[in-house]
Chain A
């Protein structure tokens, strides 16, 4: 019984699992040892492009004000105003997406630390997001990437508010889950910001300890700056048109939030993904850790542009195997990882955005009600794991 509980849901013995680990190490070594000048050029160019797009988009938002009908010139009118405003807002949203996903997320992961460039380094980078980078390094890099999909350990499983696997016990509050889910999508950066606070521990202790206060102070400081920028200072620059600019900035932030939510939820919650129990990670070897990352992550198929906008988290499997490998090299690692999985009969969960996001959303809706006949559950049983 004890041994069975420790088994991973794959048909491999310990020697096979070690071999998988060695092959993955080799893929990682190959790619990391080939890093060079062209990789540096990639990230520096992307950063330059992102900053130019952000600045330009903010200027276009202001330019749209010149088309307001009240000016009464030949080009003025609500339609031209709306078009220019939409272009600026969309551009700003896109810039924020690039900044958070392909640049921020990956730089803070330490993927570019090998350049020894103090400007692009995980220890100095701060992103355009209400979550302070240093806290995110703990909640995401440490907690989530170490304990991926381990129930009770990985706080990314449902982000402590959603039931995303039948393994989590049902409670009547989950009947409101569709609403929580929608709110989380819209306010994703705020959810991420509060993520490093251990809400459960706080509730248990019925109060704040020194550490919570420090975390909250860090969030408060970051929030104040971010809110000041997008919702006070830039709008104030528009004078009487304050609300237009505020609205545009809010929409850009919403756009980034919903996109980040979609990509990130597709990484670990689609149909067929596995969750684990603490018993399964006792004395975990490197090989077993790798296999757990493989079984707990899902990819999304798409074009080159899509991969960049998703921060290459569309290669979530490769990202979880090699979290500090520069993300733009994941497309190169993916076919090798996939072929390896095929050889060893390890499931490689990949699909279109529609499939991955569809099954995720269906699951979240279904799991707001008690019980479940979710397929990941039956896969789990079929593999002979008892709990």
Chain B
């Protein structure tokens, strides 16, 4: 092992100031180790504005856990942009590929839905996130999903199917109309084949409109108080679900994945401050509302970033000194050495960041 390590160090020196991986990449981009890329194997339109991309990741990718998400980077107008997507395929899939499903909303997702072709290369990150199935399969899961919040749950359901073991599962899914149900056919198919899986699609634009309520849950899944729950979807749905489970004293059994960060009300006497990016040697003034990630980017400092909503922790950086406010909770962090999430924190007075 150490001999191999030595050899690889020497070969590394021969490529200085680059790495051998930079030359390997010329032959096959998926072999590079200095950055992770994925090749688009195929594209599939799920609904009129939703598309599933099958991606073959390069060396160094690790198998995800059902429910996790991954950072995907594309170049739009020459500028690199990154967003986070739930992986919709099962980790047990045998061909080494994984799928993400994007809904046409915003620039990056719009680009993935409209402009990506098979053969294109996308830069990706490693799978991340706490919203995943536990090692021991849950005995009686309940899934509550809305819109594209179905994607991480799809990975979980596909895993059950691939493992030939569907636990006693209830699934309540909210979509505007029947045609907007992403993976609708597949879900119906699973429900038809496996009686253990009960699929309850609910159309929010039906007459009269139907939205999540405790009474509705009681009707569809009377034993919801005895189940482990995974919920993912729009802000309002998750807020209602959280409130419902808190009232029932079941908050401990509720696992939630939010696609947008809920922001706290900011105080009126908000002050920003001077932000000092220590490694870049840049100092700029920032107000108390603008996320530090944006502050860094506006100062042309490259900050790694992913979801931009406090989920993926790609942009975490060490705060050397000063004080920041977490925009989601409104709470201030003033302990030197804290790891802060740049995409959801703003300056609260002067602050020095290791970036």
Contact = CB atoms under 8 A, between A and B. Distances in A.
Interface of A: 35-40, 48, 51-52, 55, 110, 113-119, 121, 123-124, 126-128, 225-226, 228-229, 233-234, 237
B222 interface: no
A9 to B, nearest CB: 35
Given A39-B78, A51-B22, A119 B35 contact: yes
Contacts of B79: 114-116
Given A36-B77, A123-B301, A51 B23 contact: yes
Contacts of A117: 75, 80
Nearest to B16: A225
A228 B15 CA distance: 11
Contacts of A48: 26
Given A36-B77, A37-B75, A40-B75, A229 B16 contact: yes
Which of A51, A116, A124 gathers the greatest number of chain B CB atoms within 10 Å?
A: A116
The dominant DSSP class at the A interface is helix
Contacts of B280: 123
A117 B73 CA distance: 10
Contacts of A226: 16
B188 interface: no
Interface of B: 10, 13-18, 22-23, 26, 35, 75, 77-81, 280, 297, 300-302, 304
Contacts of B23: 51, 55
B14 to A, nearest CB: 5
A121 B302 contact: yes
Given A35-B78, A110-B300, A115-B80, A127 B17 contact: yes
A237 B13 CA distance: 13
A326 to B, nearest CB: 10
Contacts of A52: 26
A225 to B, nearest CB: 5
Shortest Cβ-Cβ A-B pairs, 7 listed:
A40-B78, A126-B17, A116-B80, A225-B16, A117-B80, A36-B78, A36-B77
Contacts of A37: 75, 77-78
A52 B26 CA distance: 7
B182 to A, nearest CB: 30
A116 B81 contact: yes
Nearest to B82: A116
Nearest to A228: B13
A213 to B, nearest CB: 20
A229 B13 contact: yes
Given A118-B304, A229-B16, 11 more contacts: A36-B78, A48-B26, A51-B18, A115-B79, A116-B80, A117-B80, A128-B16, A128-B17, A225-B17, A228-B13, A237-B14
B149 to A, nearest CB: 28
Contact of B297 (A116, A118, A228): A116
A56 B80 CA distance: 30
B16 A123 contact: no
Given A36-B77, A39-B78, A115-B78, A229 B14 contact: yes
A40 B75 CA distance: 9
Contact of B26 (A38, A51, A229): A51
B302 A113 contact: yes
Contacts of A55: 23, 26
A225 B13 contact: yes
Given A55-B23, A116-B79, A123 B302 contact: yes
A116 B26 contact: no
Contacts of B81: 116
Nearest to A114: B79
Which of B17, B77, B280 gathers the greatest number of chain A CB atoms within 10 Å?
A: B17
Given A55-B26, A116-B297, A233 B13 contact: yes
Nearest to A42: B78
A158 to B, nearest CB: 28
Contacts of A115: 75, 78-80
B6 to A, nearest CB: 13
Contact of B10 (A40, A119, A233): A233
Nearest to B304: A118
Contacts of B300: 110, 113-114
A51 B17 CA distance: 12
A117 B26 CA distance: 18
A365 to B, nearest CB: 36
24 contacts: A36-B77, A36-B78, A37-B75, A37-B78, A51-B23, A52-B26, A115-B75, A115-B79, A115-B80, A116-B81, A116-B302, A117-B75, A118-B80, A121-B302, A123-B280, A124-B302, A126-B17, A128-B16, A128-B17, A228-B13, A228-B16, A233-B10, A233-B13, A234-B14
Contacts of B18: 51
Nearest to A326: B78
B26 A118 contact: no
A105 to B, nearest CB: 14
A114 B80 CA distance: 9
Nearest to A129: B17
Given A55-B23, A228-B13, A118 B302 contact: yes
Contacts of A118: 80, 302, 304
A285 B79 CA distance: 32
B319 to A, nearest CB: 19
Contacts of A228: 13, 16
A110 B18 CA distance: 19
A272 B297 CA distance: 41
A55 B79 CA distance: 29
B21 to A, nearest CB: 11
A119 B73 CA distance: 13
Contacts of B10: 233
A114 B78 contact: yes
Contacts of A113: 300, 302
A123 B17 CA distance: 14
